[in-house]
A and B are shown apart, each in its own frame.
Chain A
Amino acid sequence: MNYNWDWNIFFKSTGIGSEIYLDWFISGLGWTIAVALVAWIAALAIGSVLGVMRTLPGKVLPAIATAYVELFRNVPLLVQLFMWYFVVPDYLPEATQIWFKQELNPATSAYISVVVCLALFTAARVCEQVRTGIQALPRGQSAAALAVGFSIGQTYRYVLLPQAFRVIIPPLTSEFLNIFKNSSVASLIGLMELLAQTKQTAEFSANIFEAFTLATVIYFVLNMSLMTLMNLIEKKVRIPGMMGGAK
C-alpha cells in the first residue's frame, strides 16, 4: 500500500503554540497515569472493605456487598462513565452543580468523573478477588486467631488479609493493568489522556500508523513496568518455605 511513513512526525510542530506532537503524548501519558493510579488506590481500599464484607458472618453486610458487585460488574463501563459525568451531576445541589459543570476546569471535572467511575467499577472486581483470597485460606486460621482473643477486626487485619493478599497478587496485577487500559474511556468525555492524544495526533497529522504505533509502544512499556513492579512485590512478600504464596 502506498502509505507515506514519517517517523519524524513526533518532533514536528502541531501548529498550536510551540508544541510538538511528542508533547501531546507525554501529557497524555501523564493523565493516563494520574487517572489509573488514583482510581487504583481507591479501588483497592473500597474493594478490600467490600471483599471482607462478603466473608463476614450474618446476612446484611454480605448482601450489601453482593448487590454492589452485581451492579457495578454488570453495567458496562461506558454506561457508568456517562452516568457519573452527565447524569449524577444533575442531581447535585444547584450551587455544587454550577461549580462542577461551569466553574471547575472541564479537564478537572472530567478527571473527577472518570476516577470515581473507574474506582467504583474496579472495586467490584477487587472485592471478588479479596473474597476469593480469604475463602481460599484454611478455616483454622480464623479459628486460631479468634481463640487467642482477637476481635473480628484484628483477625482480618493481622491474620486473614496478610495471607489473602499474598494469594491474590497475580489476579490483582491483572486488575491493575486493566485499570490502565480502561482509563482510555476518559477520552470519551474529553479528557486528553494517552488514547485521546493519539487520536488527535492521527487526525491532525494524518500519520495515523505512526501515532498508534507510538501509543502501542507506550502502553506496552507501561504494562511491562507495572508487571515487573508487581513481580518484585510478590517476591518480596513471598513466605519462606512456601511455594507460590500461602495455602
Chain B
Amino acid sequence: MRLTTRLLTTAVIASAFAAPAMAEGTLDKIKSSGVIVLGHRDASIPFSYLANDPSKPIGYSHDLQLKVVEAVKKQLKMPNLQVRYNLVTSQTRIPLVQNGTVDLECGSTTNNLERQKQVTFSVGIFEIGTRLMAAKTSGVKDFPDLKGKNVVTTAGTTSERLLKAMNAEKQMGMNIISAKDHGESFLMLESGRAVAFMMDDALLYGEMAKAKNPGNWVVTGKPQSFEIYGCMLRKEDPAFKKVVDDAIKATYKSGEINKIYSKWFMSPVPPKGLNLNFPMSDEFKELVAKPNDKSAEQM
C-alpha cells in the first residue's frame, strides 16, 4: 500500500510539474530563451509587494533583484534581456524555483537548513530579529510577560515555530493563534483576541505603520532569533550563483545599499506613504561588511 501510494503520488506530482530536466544552467537557459523570470510576493511590505502597478512589484528585495538582472545582462552581453514576473506565495515559492518556472526569487524568504535541502540561497540580503508587538498600555514588555496569555503569530513563519517551541520548553501555557497572514495577525491583536504579535521586526514595523493609530503600538522584547533573508535560486548552479552573489556584494561594497535601505525603511513608501522608521541594525551592518550565504543557525 505504502509503495503503491508513493509511486502513484510521485507520478501524479511529477507530471503536474513536468518541466524539462534542468541539465543546463540557469544562465544557459536565460541566454537561449532571452528571458529571466523573477519571483516576487504580493504583500511583503516593504520587501517585495504590489502597490500601484499590479504587473510590476516594488520593494527593497526587488531593487536588489534588479541589480542582479543588470549583472546578468552584462555577463551574457544581452542588453535587451526580457524580464518576466511571476507571483509566488509562501507555499509555491520553493517548488516554482525548483521546477524552473522562476529563476530568482527575492522577497522575504528566510534562509534555513530545511530550505537549503531544496534550494540554494544568495548571500544574505537582510537580517531581522523576531520580536513582539503589543499595545503600549498592555504592560507586555518581553516574552516572559506572555505566560498564560493569547499570543498571535503568522502561520508558517519561523516565529510560529519559535513561539511553539518556547511554549513547550518553558511551559508558559500560552494560547498560540496562527493567523493566515500578517494583516490578519494584526487584526487579532487589534481586536483583543491576542495580547501580543510575534513576528520579524521589520514586518512588525510595517504593520504598525499601517495601523489606524500607530502611536498605540510598540515593538518590544528581546529578539528570540535573528533571521537572514536571501534570494532563492536552483541548487547546483555555481555559475548563476556567482553572478547573483557578486551583484549583491557589489551593492554592499559600493555603499549603494545604504541608499536602497533608506529608500524603503527610512522614508515614506507606496502605496500609503508610510514611513517604517526602521534603522539598520548592527547585525545587518555586520552582514553587509562580511556578506555570506549562511543561515542564522549556521553562524
The answer on direct contact between A and B (beta carbons under 8 Å) is yes
The 0/1 profile, CB within 8 Å of B marked 1, for residues 68-92 of chain A is 0000000000000000001000100
Chain B residues, CB < 8 A from A101: 191-193
Chain B residues in 8 Å Cβ range of A204: 114, 156, 161
The proximity string for B residues 264-281 relative to A, scoring 1 for CB distances below 8 Å and 0 otherwise, is 000000000000000000
Do the beta carbons of A106 and B180 come within 8 Å of each other? no
Give the complex CA separation of A187 and B157 in angstroms.
15
With most chain A CB atoms within 10 A of its CB, the pick from B99, B100, B193, B235 is B193
B286 interface residue per 8 A CB criterion? no
A85 to chain B: closest CB distance in Å?
9
A contact patch SS: helix
A228 interface residue per 8 A CB criterion: no
Interface 1/0 per residue, A179-217 and B, CB below 8 Å: 000000001111010001001101111111100010011
Within B80-114, which residues are at the interface with A (CB < 8 Å)? 90-91, 94-95, 98-100, 112, 114
Chain B contact surface mostly: mixed
Q: In the assembled complex, which residues on chain B have CB atoms less than 8 Å from the CB atom of A190?
A: 152, 155, 177-180, 188
Whether A17 contacts B169 in the complex (CB less than 8 A), given A200-B155, A200-B178, A206-B115, comes out as: yes
Which of A1, A3, A192, A213 makes the CB contact (< 8 A) with B9?
A213
Instruction: Name the interface residues of A216-230: CB closer than 8 Å to any CB of B.
Output: 216-217
Contact B9 A217 (CB under 8 A): yes
How many angstroms between the C-alpha atoms of A6 and B178 in the bound complex? 26
Q: Return the contact of A86 from the options B9, B156, B187 (Cβ within 8 A).
A: B187
Contact in complex: B150, A199 (CB < 8 Å): no
Q: Are A16 and B236 in contact (CB under 8 A)?
A: no
**A60 touches B (CB below 8 Å):** no
Q: Which residue of B lies closest to A206 (CB)?
A: B114
Give residues of chain A (1-45) contacting chain B, Cβ–Cβ below 8 Å: 1-7, 14-17
Q: Are B91 and A3 in contact (CB under 8 A)?
A: no
Does A239 belong to the interface (CB within 8 Å)? no
In the assembled complex, B258 has its CB within 8 A of some CB on chain A: no
For B236, what are the chain A residues with a Cβ–Cβ distance below 8 Å? 2
**Judging by beta carbons under 8 Å apart, are B13 and A209 in contact?**
yes
Q: How far, in angstroms, from A200 to B161 measured CA to CA in the complex? A: 9
What B residues does A217 contact at CB under 8 A? 5, 9
Interface membership of B78, Cβ < 8 A: no
Interchain CB contact under 8 A, A209 and B95: yes
Q: How far is the CA of A207 from the CA of B180 in the complex (A)?
A: 20
**How extensive is the interface on chain A, given as a class?**
35 or more
Query: What residue of chain B has the Cβ atom nearest to residue A4's Cβ?
Result: B117
Within 8 Å by CB of A102, from B19, B99, B192, lies: B192
Q: How far is the CB of B2 from chain A (nearest CB, A)?
A: 9
For A15, give its contact among B165, B180, B188 (CB under 8 Å). B165
Judging by beta carbons under 8 Å apart, are A2 and B155 in contact? no
Q: Does B212 contact A (CB under 8 A)?
A: no
Instruction: Confirm or deny: A146 has a beta carbon within 8 angstroms of a beta carbon on chain B.
Output: no
Nearest CB of B to A209, in Å = 5
Question: Are the C-beta atoms of A200 and B156 separated by less than 8 Å?
Answer: yes
A107 proximal to B (CB < 8 A): yes
Quick check: is B168 within 8 A (CB to CB) of the other chain? yes
Q: Tell me the minimal C-beta distance from B146 to chain A in angstroms.
A: 13
Chain A residues with CB under 8 Å of B22's CB are: 1-2
* Shortest distance between the CB of B285 and any CB in chain A (Å): 29
> CA of A239 to CA of B117 in the docked complex: distance in angstroms?
59
> Could you say which residues of chain A place their CB within 8 Å of the CB of B115?
206
State whether A107 and B175 are in contact (beta carbons under 8 Å apart), knowing that A1-B22, A15-B165 are contacts in the complex: yes
| Smallest beta-carbon distance B137→chain A, Å | 15
Task: Provide the residues of chain A in CB contact with B150, threshold 8 Å.
Answer: 102, 106
Residue of A nearest to B117 (CB): A4
Q: Whole-angstrom distance between the alpha carbons of A15 and B188 in the complex?
A: 26
- A-B contact list, 20 entries, CB within 8 Å: A2-B22, A6-B117, A14-B161, A15-B165, A16-B168, A17-B165, A102-B193, A106-B150, A106-B194, A110-B177, A187-B180, A188-B184, A190-B177, A190-B178, A200-B155, A200-B160, A208-B91, A209-B13, A213-B9, A216-B9
Residues on A lying within 8 angstroms of B by beta carbon are 1-7, 14-17, 86, 90, 101-102, 105-107, 109-110, 187-190, 192, 196, 199-200, 202-209, 213, 216-217
9 smallest A-B Cβ distances: which pairs?
A203-B156, A17-B168, A206-B114, A1-B99, A190-B177, A213-B9, A16-B164, A106-B177, A206-B115
Contacts A3-B99, A203-B157, A207-B114 aside, 14 further interface pairs with beta carbons under 8 A come to A1-B19, A5-B10, A14-B161, A15-B161, A16-B165, A86-B187, A101-B193, A110-B177, A189-B179, A190-B179, A200-B155, A202-B156, A204-B156, A204-B161
